Amino acid sequence: MDTVLQVFNENLIMIYLLLFTIILGFEVISKVPTVLHTPLMSGANAVSGVVIIGAIILIRQAHSDDYLTLGLGFLGIVLGMVNVVGGFAVTDRMLEMFKKKK
């Protein structure tokens, strides 16, 4: 119990950040018209590619002869980059179609 309390006290700012971001996520999304569900999901999906930041840090911190880590980091960057670039590009393509009428 003491360790739990200690973790809680030491990471208070992080816990605030997590909770507020969750609430923000709920609030930002909850009033979306059906017409935008697909682009929204696709755009959010691209944002989840933010995991690529971790892959960049991983590679930058790796020793230049640690080929296992470099290989994993490379794989991570490829995967994350497909997610990011593909996600934003596909979303933009969808939204382009919504724009040109009315």
Q: Tell me which residues in 56-75 interact with another protein (CB under 8 A).
A: 56-64, 68-70, 72-75
Q: Does 8 bind another protein (CB under 8 A)?
A: no
Nearest distance in Å: CB 6, another protein: 10
- Contact present, 43 and 74 (Cβ < 8 Å): no
Q: Does 15 bind another protein (CB under 8 A)?
A: no
Q: Look at residues 21, 87, 84 and name the one whose alpha carbon lies nearest to residue 50.
A: 84
Q: In the range 25-44, which residues lie near another protein by CB under 8 A? A: 25-26, 28-44
Q: Look at residues 50, 44, 49, 42 and name the one whose alpha carbon lies nearest to residue 25.
A: 44
